[in-house]
């Protein structure tokens, strides 16, 4: 089916862009993203890929270039991190508002101040309300596979919404593992050519990006929200179709791990989920009724799946690698809202860990689980651990 290579997630994403036959790539360097666009540049130099490679003067310009490419009916890709993602903020809203189905890799890195090149998820969480689908990835293999899925999701006429791939900096971006790189023919069968229902054409002049008043503006936003709602089903469909085609799938919106008979669940996103699996396995071997829920799609939030997975549990421990200052971690807040109204909702405890690239070792996750099980943590605000 494919060739096995030793890759970090950044190289895996670059292979995904190559296999998706993306014809426009906008590149601006920033640690720890840079090796994605460097790898794409090497594909182009070696004749393994054909694309217009645009070296721009800023991250803002990178996304503007991708918007222009998408507006005329072309697939487009760019990548960034941290302050670069913050600098893109204005263009993020333009791209989602225009319903341009491009893909962006956000290689998660702490935001300043203080300066740090190390990883947490503060940068992408800050952009959660810009109208992008956000998928949080656990492994390099999932990074490659989800790059291919992302274009099929974004370009689906029921969705037409850009996708942000959220990849833990250094934990995934610079750590290599064995990755199966699919054959081009198999990818071509899975990912059809882009077919936009609207695009700029000099022979048929039209306007994009017009102004709108009151009700027209509200209707536009309502249509974005409806598309996000439909994306929930499409994400699941695409992941299932990918599983049939390649033998790998990732649960669609969420992945429940060892939740049968669980009384307490750990909930997390991204690379630390791999560590959490090991901890859950160890505690299960000790006879402890502990499970794990990986949130893969943070936007759109999989409310129904969260309620189904966690209903009836005694307690839930949410590990956030971000802080919504003045309250708690963002995932914890959303989880509480999703569980509201259940007949027997679990007690939800929020923990903030791994900021600035600090370690989240197995013993920390075990301690988090123990404290949630004993009801010793706060249910009101996120508790910082490991400092």
190-213 tens-digit pLDDT: 999 999 999 999 898 888 888 899
Binned at pLDDT 50, 70 and 90, residue 146 comes out as: very high
Q: Is 38 exposed, middle or buried (0-12, 13-18, 19+ CB in 10 A)?
A: middle
Same domain, 283 and 238: no
376 pLDDT more than 90: no
154-196 tens-digit pLDDT: 999 999 999 999 999 999 999 999 999 999 999 999 999 999 9
Q: What's the confidence (pLDDT) of residue 337?
A: 97
Same domain, 102 and 66: yes
379 pLDDT more than 80: no
Same domain, 241 and 266: no
47-59 tens-digit pLDDT: 999 999 999 999 9
Binned at pLDDT 50, 70 and 90, residue 17 comes out as: very high
258-308 tens-digit pLDDT: 999 999 999 999 999 999 999 999 999 999 999 999 999 999 999 999 999
CA angle 44, 50, 51 (to 5 degrees): 90
376 — phi, psi (to 5°)?
Answer: -90, -10
Question: How is the chain split among helix, strand and coil, in percent rounded to 5?
Answer: 40, 20, 40
Full-model pTM = 0.97
Domain boundary among 246, 273, 300: 246
Q: What's the confidence (pLDDT) of residue 378?
A: 76
Same domain, 212 and 341: no
Range of the domain at 236: 2-246
Same domain, 292 and 240: no
Q: What's the confidence (pLDDT) of residue 382?
A: 87
129 part of a folded domain = yes
At 140 the three-state DSSP class reads helix
Q: What is the average pLDDT score of the chain?
A: 97
Strands 177-182 and 2-7: antiparallel
Mean pLDDT of 117-125: 97
88 part of a folded domain = yes
12 part of a folded domain = yes
> Measuring CA to CA, how many Å separate 23 from each of 78, 145, 217?
12, 19, 32
Residue 237, number of CB atoms within 10 A of its CB:
15
CATH number for position 94: 3.40.50.970
Same domain, 70 and 149: yes
From 251, 83, 95, select the one nearest 169 (Cα to Cα).
83
Q: What's the confidence (pLDDT) of residue 207?
A: 85
Same domain, 69 and 142: yes
């Amino acid at each position: 089916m494919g060739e096995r290579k030793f890759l970090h997630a950044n190289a895996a994403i670059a292979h995904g862009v190559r296999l998706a036959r993306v014809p426009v790539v906008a590149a601006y360097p920033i640690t720890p993203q840079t090796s994605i666009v460097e790898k794409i540049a090497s594909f182009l130099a070696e004749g393994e890929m054909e694309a217009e490679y645009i070296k721009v003067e800023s991250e803002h310009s990178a996304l503007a270039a991708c918007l222009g490419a998408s507006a005329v009916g072309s697939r487009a890709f760019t990548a960034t991190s941290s302050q670069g993602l913050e600098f893109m903020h204005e263009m993020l809203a333009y791209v989602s508002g225009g319903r341009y189905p491009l893909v962006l890799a956000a290689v998660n890195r702490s935001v300043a101040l203080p300066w740090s090149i190390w990883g947490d998820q503060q940068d992408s969480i800050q952009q959660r309300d810009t109208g992008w689908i956000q998928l949080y990835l656990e492994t390099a293999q999932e990074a490659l596979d989800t790059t291919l899925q992302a274009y099929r999701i974004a370009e689906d006429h029921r969705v037409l919404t850009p996708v942000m791939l959220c990849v833990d900096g250094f934990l995934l971006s610079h750590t290599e593992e064995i990755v199966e790189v699919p054959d081009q023919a198999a990818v071509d069968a899975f990912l059809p050519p882009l077919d936009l229902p609207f695009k700029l054409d000099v022979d048929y002049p039209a306007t994009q990006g017009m102004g709108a008043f009151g009700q027209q503006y509200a209707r536009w936003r309502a249509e974005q929200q409806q598309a996000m709602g439909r994306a929930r089903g499409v994400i699941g469909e695409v992941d299932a179709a990918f599983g049939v085609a390649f033998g790998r799938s990732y649960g669609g919106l969420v992945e429940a791990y060892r939740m049968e008979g669980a009384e307490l669940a750990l909930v997390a996103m991204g690379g630390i989920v791999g560590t959490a699996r090991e901890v859950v396995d160890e505690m299960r071997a000790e006879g402890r009724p502990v499970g794990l829920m990986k949130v893969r799609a943070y936007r759109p939030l999989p409310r129904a799946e969260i309620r189904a997975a966690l209903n009836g549990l005694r307690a839930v421990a949410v590990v956030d690698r971000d802080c919504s200052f003045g309250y708690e971690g963002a995932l914890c807040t959303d989880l509480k809202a999703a569980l509201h109204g259940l007949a027997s909702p679990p007690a939800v405890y929020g923990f903030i860990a791994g900021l600035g690239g600090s370690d989240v070792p197995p013993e920390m996750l075990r301690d988090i689980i123990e404290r949630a099980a004993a009801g010793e943590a706060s249910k009101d605000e996120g508790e910082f651990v490991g400092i």
